[in-house]
Structure 1
Amino acid sequence: MRLPGNETVPAVIIFGDSIVETGNNNDLRTPAKCNFPPYGRDFQGGIPTGRFSNGKVPSDLIVKELGIKDLVPSYKDPNLKPNDLLTGVSFASGGSGYDPLTPKLLSVISLPDQLKQFKEYIGKLKANFGEDRTNFILTRSIILVVASSNDIANSYFASGIRKAQYDISSYTDFILGYASSFIKELYGLGARRVGVFGAPPLGCVPSQRTLFGGIGRVCSQQVNQASMMFNAKLSAELHSLKQHMPQARIVYFDVYNPLLHIIQNPATYGFQVVDKGCCGTGTLEVSISCNRLEPQTCTDESNYMFWDSYHPTERTYKILVGKVLNKYISSFF
């Protein structure tokens, strides 16, 4: 991908949840991990790395598209070398979210703890490469934040915990407050190019269809409306933050509409199945319930939009990343 003018992006640094996790949960005592088959079936050498897909995830595809490197290592990768820090890492943790309750439900790494790791990362950069190089990386890198799905799907709808305390309008305000604070903290630490993903059409994800889509397993309008409501507020909040952070480029990434377009027009994209994942029955299996002992797991995931009941296949991610980068990349410059 050609960047405008003589612009460079030295690194991509990633925060958030399972959509962009590359293995940070592997050593945690949590059900939210996937460092076992059939995950990674189509990854290099067929090795499960802790990526919640059959192959690469958006973090990997974005760095490749920008010509930086092939894969984004997880920050907790035991083989991480100082030079890996120069081109970016993922702090993301599957099951995490903006709401402080969300990471507690699955015992994963919260966004405040991801921020602590980021501060540690900045310290390592300074120690290894000096202040100037560190500042160059912080100001020129693209920093991506991918969260909110677990807040809406798990903390609000599936567990019902937040539903008992808030209506959806006040809950989306509640998590928006945390999202806004997180962006401000990143800015305070030197980040200047920040891309924030909106929520996907969660009501159409296979597990949400199973839980809330009735006998026909249709898309849940109630869950989709929650995603749309959060997205409208997030987009407006990011626009407002830009006014107060003159040196920053803060970009809202709409993933709701491109994903919904695939779901509504599968044949256009060469998909046959959009309401079930490849793994197991495809209706509820995810993480530890999607494992090598599932006899029903599909043999050819290229026909499937979803890998498990919650996460897309690498092929879906490629389509999404292509659309999103082409639309938004110039907004960072």
Structure 2
Amino acid sequence: MMCGDLKIMCVFLLILNLLGDNYGAKGEPQVPCYFIFGDSLVDNGNNNVIRSLARADYLPYGIDFPDGPTGRFSNGKTTVDVIAELLGFDDYIPPYATARGREILRGVNFASAAAGIREETGQQLTLYNYGARKFVLIGVGQIGCSPNALAQNSPDGRTCAQNINVANQLFNNKLRALVDNLNRNTPNAKLIYINAYGIFQDLIDNPFAFGFRVTNAGCCGIGRNNGQITCLPFQNPCQNRNEYLFWDAFHPGEAANIIVGRRSYRAQKSTDAYPFDIQRLAQL
């Protein structure tokens, strides 16, 4: 969830179709390629090769992932891993740092922990001009409810920091408006918005319905609510990991990522996606 020094969950961008209208033969993915941009929520190893404190290539990160620690800031899968499965890819999209040869044509994950969202870090249409036509913009989530925010800003360790969440909602409203604007003014492009804030609100409001018993603390970390910093190398995490909404001070665990990924792909509520979900976008 960290964007430089701001420590906020960045919006991330998925490109689902690059100059391709046909799904191909039976059994192939629903889209020909899948490119991912974002921060630590979806980084899957790009930071492993750089000198940075924002790394997760050590246990207990990846403790529930088949390949172990890969650089994912989770105990297991991220939301974009779940979406890759639902789109029909037979393997996860590789990080840019290790992608080679023709596998790059299938898609690359460019996400990097602590990446920024300011204008100087990129341009809206660096991508459209290279042929990208289908985009998913995923909104900012409940940053004010993260263990880090609770540890620093909550008087009781449970009440979400509303000043942070209000700012998140203002950003999301602008992002949704941007989707409308670009859909009107960018020929042949199709953009959708995923309401990650609303999906996460459901998990916080009714955690037991989703199997969560702990929503105000990380399964792994240091300090109050395990919310001061991320997991230390070889730290012992909680045993009941699927019952924790958050894995560490900033990032949801695999159980939460699976729910968010599935509802991003196939909306369960009309408010989950606008104007429609990823499944529909892939069919267009």
TM-score of the superposed pair, with normalisation by structure 1 = 0.70
1:71 to 92, 100, 122: 92
SS in 1 for 2:37: strand
Q: Deviations over 1:282-305 (max 9, x none)?
A: 432544x5331x35x212201111
Q: Is the 8 A contact 2:142 2:200 kept in 1?
A: yes
Which residue pairs with 2:103 in the alignment?
A: 84
2:51 to 29, 32, 43: 29
1:275 pairs, out of 216, 223, 247, with 216
In structure 1, give the amino acid aligned to 2:171.
F
Answering whether residue 1 of structure 2 is matched by residue 60 of structure 1, we say no
Structure-1 separation of matches of 2:135 and 2:35: 9
The TM-score with structure 2 as length reference comes to 0.81
Structure with the largest fraction of helix: 1
**Which structure is richer in relative contact order (CA contacts within 8 A, separation 6 or more)?**
2
Equivalent residue for 1:20?
Answer: 42
Confirm or deny that 1:93 pairs with 2:36. no
Cα separation, 2, equivalents of 1:225 and 1:236 = 17
Displacement after TM superposition at 1:81 (Å): 3.0
**How far 1:53 moved relative to its partner?**
0.2
Once the two structures are TM-superposed, the CA of residue 264 in structure 1 deviates from its matched residue by: 1.2
* Maintained 8 Å contact 2:80/2:261: no
**Alignment-mate amino acid for residue 265 of structure 2:** L
* Partner residue in 2 for 1:128: none
**2:90 & 2:195 partners in 1: Cα distance?**
25
- In the TM superposition, residue 6 of structure 1 has moved relative to its aligned partner by 6.4
Is the 8 Å Cα contact of residues 38 and 54 (structure 1) preserved in structure 2?
yes
- Structure 2 distance, partners of 1:218, 1:88, is 40
Write the mapping of 1:92-171 to structure 2, written as runs, cut at 5 A: 92-99=111-118, 111-112=121-122
- Backbone CA RMSD of aligned residues: 1.9
Corresponding residue to 1:253 among 194, 202, 220 = 194
SS at match of 1:200: coil
**1:211: Cα distance to partner?**
1.2
Give, in whole Å, the separation in 2 of the partners of 1:186 and 1:218. 40
Q: Which runs of 5+ in 1 are unaligned?
A: 101-109, 113-181
Between the aligned residues of both structures, percent identity stands at: 36
Gaps of 5+ in 2: 1-20, 24-29, 268-276
Matched, 1:314 2:257: no
SS at match of 1:252: strand
Distance 1:25 1:211 in 2: 26
C-alpha distance in 1, partners of 2:90/2:103?
10
Name whichever of 272-281 and 262-271 sits farther off. 272-281
Q: How many residues align?
A: 245
For 2:83, what is the secondary structure of its paired residue?
A: helix
Structure 1 residue 215: Cα displacement: 3.3
Question: What letter corresponds to residue 291 of structure 1 in structure 2?
Answer: P
1:204 to 139, 145, 148: 145
In structure 1, what is the equivalent of residue 130 of structure 2? 189
Distance 2:80 2:151 in 1: 28
